[in-house]
Amino acid sequence: MLHVAVATRAFRRYSTYRAATLAGIFTNSVFGVIYSYAYLALWDQRPHAGGYNASDAVTYVWLGQALLMTVALWGGGSTDDLADRIRSGDIAIDLYRPVGLLGWYLAADLGRAAYHLLTRGLGPTLIGALLFDLVWPEGPVSGMVLPLVLFPRLAARRRARPAVGVVPADPCRHLAGASRRLVDPRCPRCAGAVGSRPADGVPGSPAGRDPQAGGPGWLTWRVPSVTTRRSRRCGCAPPSPIPCRSGR
């Protein structure tokens, strides 16, 4: 119950900044349009690159823009809050609470993610659907897979960044430890950003976006994202959002 309360407060905290949300939706959509046209040019020459067609590719772009903030792979959200609180020493207050630190911050992050999914996820998706020909789930079952993929993704986010440092320790603790040693939390954040761009399916850079379109073989094997590996381990999800969306 407490965690639900934390999550709702986080949801409300982010929903205070309406102008920022609108500005974010606008920016995501601009990048969506740019990448879509770049993709269409590629698929214009190779209509079945990597076994996908042009609308699959464009859908991938817009899904990526929609999930960018929800998953907050580039930083932001409660991991940044935590890092800042370690830096300022406010973390002592958090540790005094008779509640698990990880649960607390996970709840806050889920509240934030819910808000971002509803606004910055839904907004660009609608705009993308208006401007381009997107692929929609073929049935309720394949439609349900997306949320299933999303949740482990969120949880794995914690793992994703420290995994770059290749220390398979408890992720949050590692991040905390790292920033305590480095004082400046921007450093691990940046290292995480570098690692996450090519390593995750979320399209931030073309590198993250199109290896599946038939890049060199040595790249393809390391592309499956942290989450993908995870969800495969659970045996529940296909390797990237596209196949589940288009029912493959």
Partner 1 sequence: MWVRASLAYPLSFWTMTVGGGLITFLDFVGLWIMFHTIDSLGGFGLREIGLLYGATGLGIGIADLLIGSVERIGQHVRQGTLDAMMTRPVSLLVQVCADDFQPRRVSRILQAAAVFAWAGWYVEWSPLRVLVATQMVAAGVVIFFCLFVAFSCLQFWTSDVSQFANAFTYGGNTITQYPLTVFPKELVKSLTFVIPIAFVNWYPCLYLLGRDDPFGLPGWLQFASPLAAIVLAGMASLVWRAGVRHYSSTGS
Give yes or no for residue 207 binding partner 1 (CB under 8 A): yes
Question: Total number of residues binding partner 1 (CB under 8 A)?
Answer: 44
Please report how close the Cβ of residue 140 comes to partner 1 at its closest, in angstroms: 34
CB closer to partner 1, 208 vs 241: 208
Give yes or no for residue 31 binding partner 1 (CB under 8 A): yes
Segment interacting with partner 1, rule: CB under 8 A, options 51-59, 82-90, 100-108, 205-213:
205-213
Give yes or no for residue 15 binding partner 1 (CB under 8 A): no
Chosen residue from 137, 143, 215, 247 binding partner 1 by CB under 8 A:
215
Please report how close the Cβ of residue 11 comes to partner 1 at its closest, in angstroms: 17
CA distance 119 to 180: 34
Amino acid (1-letter code) at residue 128 = G
Give yes or no for residue 143 binding partner 1 (CB under 8 A): no
Please report how close the Cβ of residue 225 comes to partner 1 at its closest, in angstroms: 15
CB closer to partner 1, 140 vs 216: 216
Please report how close the Cβ of residue 236 comes to partner 1 at its closest, in angstroms: 29
CB closer to partner 1, 3 vs 87: 87
Please report how close the Cβ of residue 186 comes to partner 1 at its closest, in angstroms: 6
Segment interacting with partner 1, rule: CB under 8 A, options 78-86, 92-100, 137-145, 176-184:
176-184
Q: Three-class SS string for the chain?
A: CHHHHHHHHHHHHHHCCHHHHHHHHHHHHHHHHHHHHHHHHHHHHCCCHHHCCHHHHHHHHHHHHHHHHHHCCCCCCHHHHHHHHHHHCCHHHHHHCCCCHHHHHHHHHHHHHHHHHHHHHHHHHHHHHHHCCCCCCCCHHHHHHHHHHHHHHHHHHHHHHHHHCCCCCCHHHHHHHHHHHHCCCHHHHHHHHHHHHHHCCCCCCHHHHCHHHCCCHHHHCCCCCHHHHHHHHHCCCCCCHHHHHCCC
CA distance 201 to 199: 7
Question: Contact residues for partner 1 (CB under 8 A)?
Answer: 17, 19-20, 22-24, 26-27, 30-31, 34-35, 37-38, 40-42, 45-46, 49-50, 182-184, 186-187, 190-191, 193-194, 197-198, 205-211, 213-216, 219
